[in-house]
Amino acid sequence: MEPDGTGGALVVLAGEIDQDCASELRDVLASALRAHPGRVVLDLAGLTFCDCACLNILLRARQEAGIRFGVRNISAPVSRLLRSTDTFAYFLNGADPGSHPAEEGTGRI
């Protein structure tokens, strides 16, 4: 977790997040949202696997934080999960709360 200089933070996720480590993600996000009231943005470029436990945590963080929560650089595996669960539209560009979701197949927003 890195402060972004505007009262927010950037959290970079990498590797695999599944049921076995989902509680760690939940704790990191809760801590980031408490410590950085401006905005918390997740960079998902390095995330190679994300299961429904991870998705539930992302959805809950988004619900609780509203526009204070965003994602960027959605990796292909995460994009597939979001599209197959019809939740892709819930994750807006981390740089601009009014931006559109990532473009399919590009891994970018």
Q: At 5, is the secondary structure helix, strand, or coil?
A: coil
Looking at residue 92, its pLDDT comes to 66
Looking at residue 81, its pLDDT comes to 94
Looking at residue 1, its pLDDT comes to 80
Question: CA angle 54-34-49, nearest 5°?
Answer: 15
pTM: 0.79
Question: Which residue is associated with the tokens 């807006």?
Answer: 92
CA atoms within 13 A on the CB side of 69: 18
Looking at residue 94, its pLDDT comes to 54
Q: What is the mean pLDDT of each run of 10 residues along the chain (109 residues)?
A: 79 95 94 89 94 94 89 93 92 51 42
